[in-house]
Structure 1
Amino acid sequence: MDQMARLRLPVVVLLLSAALFAVSVGAWSARGQIAVKRQGYIPYTDAPIRYLQDELHDPVAELEKKLEAGTVKLSYDERLGYLPAVLKALHIPQDSQTLVFSKTSFQYKKISPEHPRALYFNDDVYVGFVHEGKALEIVSFDPNQGAAFYLLDANKAEHPKFERAELDCTQCHIAPGTRNVPGVLVRSIYPSPTGTLANSTESFVTGQETPIAKRWGGWYVTGSAGSERTMGNSIMPAGYGTANGPHGDPDQSLQPLEQRFLNADYLNPQSDIVAHLVLTHQTQMHNLITLTNYKTRIAFFEHAKKNNGVEGSLTPEERATFEKPAEELVQYLLFANEAPLPGPIAGNNSFARTFASEGLRDSKGRSLRDFDLKTRIFRYPVSYLVYSDQFDQLPQEAKSYVYHRLYEVLSGADQSPAFQKISAADRTAAYQILLATKPHLPEEWRQSAAAAARAERLSRRRAG
């Protein structure tokens, strides 16, 4: 059980926008903008990471530059504020909406089963919207620095501005659940009827390895979860765990909760299960990429510092400090630890089609964004985030390690137990898709592909 659960605080179910933003908001000025305080200790502010000092190039930082230059304007909707315009400007699909009713963010008083918080996302950005809230809450991934946290005042303004939120976001967002780097996580809880954590219960940080039965406590989930019951759409009985209240097995005590929210308050009435699956996968994927990036930069920085600024080859012990998270990244990229789905899983909106339509495809029409939704999330066992700017910006030493390990597994050279559940056919398909769609693959990939092509031509000539 984590510290938040033990203290019975309002639990941040998805720490993508933040109970973390709570004290970051210093004041609301007369023109409606947010004054963000910078005070206290924030990890990774020193070299080599310089989390606060280095210029950011995440999607929200780039959008803010366009707003300041006047080349982009955000229109204001009288019902939903800046939400539709922000989603459009950041290329976030509206059908990515997931709804979480557990208490969360500095606006937790406005969040309940009657008014869940809506979350929208794409490969790089997460946007949180609270009914009648004071601000949009945004996490945007910088290619080099990982998660950056922003607020956008919900009040109509002549010049709306994204304000970077710092101290209190990072106090929750640099934690074991984010692998101790600036990141994001999905949490599942046993919610009380008001959305707080029920007494005498625990919460779970969830990823692709989490069994479906332990996911989505405190969330609305629409669509079909197959044969398995999840913790979604459920609450604990009133007073559970108190002196005079009911007790017993929390899983057996969960009670069905009908959707009570007003559809007019949101962009759509859905909280699609396929969007939930993708969200759960990619949050920890982001964290592992950031962790590998940070550990590599720190290893080389510390090596140079010990050697009076002289660069050189790292010792095996020094390399292990970043190769260990890089290996974990490889396993996550390949879904080696994915919990089986109790399929078939079926969404009830257009999210699955929208998501798959963005995929790069090989000559056979295959894409890493194609879904399976029977026994696993995706048809091919490599994460689509291999195409992300964040992955491409990994330090060269770490990226070389990851590419080499991917090659070993997908070519069949690595048959170790960690990857045994990946079939030979799936390895070959994923390998071929990457060769056709991923630029700048290492030389060993290209040489192998050339050798395979020569062998195939020779085989055809002999057969003919």
Structure 2
Amino acid sequence: MNRLLQTSLLVVSLSGLTVLAEDEYENAPIRYSETEPNDAAQRLERLMATGKVKVDRTDAWTVLRDVMKQFDIPAESQVMVFSKTSKQNDRISPQTPRVVYFGDNAYVGYCLGGSIEVSTIDPKLGPIFYLLDPYEAPQKPLHFQRDQSCLSCHGGPFTPEVPGVIVRSVFPGPEGHPIMSQGSTVVDTTTPFSDRWGGWYVTGKHGSVLHRGNVTATEQNDQTIDIDFKKGANITNLGKFFDTTPYKRKSSDIVALMVLEHQTSVQNILTKANHTSLRAMHMQTSLQRELGEKVEREPVGTARRIIDHCAEDVVEALLFKDEAELPAGGIEGDPAFQTAFTKRAPQSSDGRSLKDFQLLNRLFKHRCSYMVYSLTFQHLTAPLKQTVLSRLWTVLEGKDTTGSYDYLGESERSNIRRILAETLPGAPPEWKKALASK
């Protein structure tokens, strides 16, 4: 992430303007807030308005169910968060957790009696944030209200200065308020198991290694805390913590949580890299025009260096560099989520998928992220995407000389090469030729 921040500052300096980092995405060429999104929420609203899609408005749960169906979000992806780290904090507590669901390109959250929170992905802008009132009078159309206030958390330091989606691990007090003196962790693929899930409910087995989930803390006068992580370990029934009756599903699956954390962190890296690449090319074009030079379509000089740095960050994220190990013996979650998650995963001719789970010492069998199929990856700027694909293939062919990816053995790299060559939209033709020659 540090390289991306440095490179984005380089782009800002090129403009000759003093721009706050958190505002970069509001300026050309991104113009996040003033740009009409091209995302699933906008498309669904148009379909509902024309009557082509009907949503059952019996209650909030039926609205949630039908919206999730349109966004291709499985109900089995449910996780629960009880820390007050959301727009609807007054509705969240250890007794009334917020439910969160996710698909590959969309996220929804719901608090009992509250609005449905929605984040859908625009290929260029990144995540777009909305509120949907499920209690709107039935004669009125449902409306996704774009909510820019979400950017106070979802568009700053927590999300590398781009609009982003995050999973935070905090030390929650008895009512769910984060104990600020203890700080928080934005969880990604590299976060140690023991630092995860503070303020979240977690169901599943994980052996003797403890995490922060399922329990609250009490702050002492000396700013230390009293918390018993053992009480939150290896939980399979959340009924001991709160009344689960109002909730359609009673779980907050450990595997779903780990997938969500991986997905959100990679999404943010992709968004950051794409925004930085867009700005680099915008600045290059502006400077060349200002200097009366030929406008180059390909990145040169500083823009080339910036995009190369961005590409390396993307490749590191896609290939699970520095992934945190799972506890000895692995983890065990709900098979229903794993089935739903892998249901339509693209498969190679030998039946392998980037969504195949391993769950013993790492999350997935084949350590190349399924986020290569995401909207953001598929719509990366051409120079960035070409650089990422070239660098990715170099690593997967065992030709990387940095030693950074030595954890990937030849067998795993070979399996990943086949999966990508046979399933990745827009895969370079030479990838398939390389497979055929071996």
Letter in 2 for 1:110: R
Distance in 2 between the 1:201 and 1:439 partners?
A: 44
Within 5 A, what are the aligned runs for 1:72-111?
72-78=53-59, 80=61, 82-111=63-92
Call closer, same or farther: CA 1:264–1:43 in 2, change over 3 Å. Answer: farther
CA shift for structure 1 position 83: 1.3
Bigger drift between 210-219 and 310-319 goes to: 310-319
Q: Please, which runs of 5 or more residues in structure 1 have no aligned partner?
A: 1-40, 453-464
- Aligned pair count? 404
TM superposition shift of 1:155: 1.2
> Which residue of 395, 398, 414 corresponds with 1:412?
398
SS at structure 1 position matched to 2:132? strand
Q: 1:80 to 1:450 in 2, by over 3 A?
A: closer
Does residue 50 of structure 2 align to residue 69 of structure 1? yes
Q: What does residue 428 of structure 1 align with?
A: 414
- Report the 3-state secondary structure (helix = DSSP H, G, I; strand = E; otherwise coil) of the residue aligned with 2:289: coil
> Separation in 1 of the partners of 2:60 and 2:33?
35
TM-score normalized with structure 1 length: 0.83
Question: In the alignment, which residue of structure 1 is the partner of 2:303?
Answer: 318
Counterpart of 2:303, as a letter, is: E
- What percent identity do the matched residue pairs reach? 37
Do structure 1's residue 196 and structure 2's residue 177 form an aligned pair?
Answer: yes
2:129 to 149, 157, 166: 149
Of 85, 94, 101, 1:113 maps to 94
Residue 34 of structure 1 corresponds to none
Aligned to 1:361: 347
* Distance in 2, Cα, partners of 1:136 & 1:151: 6
Q: Is the 8 A contact 1:190 1:198 kept in 2?
A: yes
Q: Which residue of 2 aligns with 1:333?
A: 318
- Contact 1:270–1:349 at 8 Å: present in 2 too? no
Structure 2 gap ranges (5+): 1-21, 233-237
Q: Secondary structure at the match of 1:418?
A: coil
- The farther-off stretch of 42-51 and 184-193 is 42-51
CA distance in 1, matches of 2:24, 2:394: 35
Assess, with a 3 A threshold, how the Cα gap between structure 1 residues 422 and 51 changes in structure 2: closer, same or farther: same
Q: Deviations over 1:331-387 (max 9, x none)?
A: 110111211111421113500111112211112111111000001100101111111
Aligned to 1:390: 376
Aligned to 2:264: 283
Deviates more, 1:78-87 or 1:327-336: 78-87
Q: 2:138 aligned with 1:160, yes or no?
A: no
Which residue in 1 is equivalent to 2:358?
A: 372
Give the Cα separation in 2 of the matches to 1:196 and 1:365.
46
2:131 aligned counterpart, secondary structure: strand
Amino acid at match of 1:320: R
Q: Which residue of 1 aligns with 2:231?
A: 256
d(CA) in 1 for partners of 2:190 and 2:300?
33
What is the RMSD computed on CA atoms of the aligned residues?
Answer: 1.9
Range 44-53 or range 359-368, more displaced: 44-53
Give 1:422's aligned amino acid: L
1:160, CA displacement in angstroms? 1.0
Say if 2:217 and 2:225, in contact at 8 Å, map to a contact too.
no
Taking the aligned partners of 1:382 and 1:434, their CA distance within structure 2 comes to 9
- SS of equivalent to 2:181: coil
Using the TM superposition, give the Cα deviation of residue 81 of structure 1 relative to its aligned residue in structure 2, in angstroms.
5.5
Q: Deviations over 1:189-225 (max 9, x none)?
A: 1111111123631211110100000000000000112
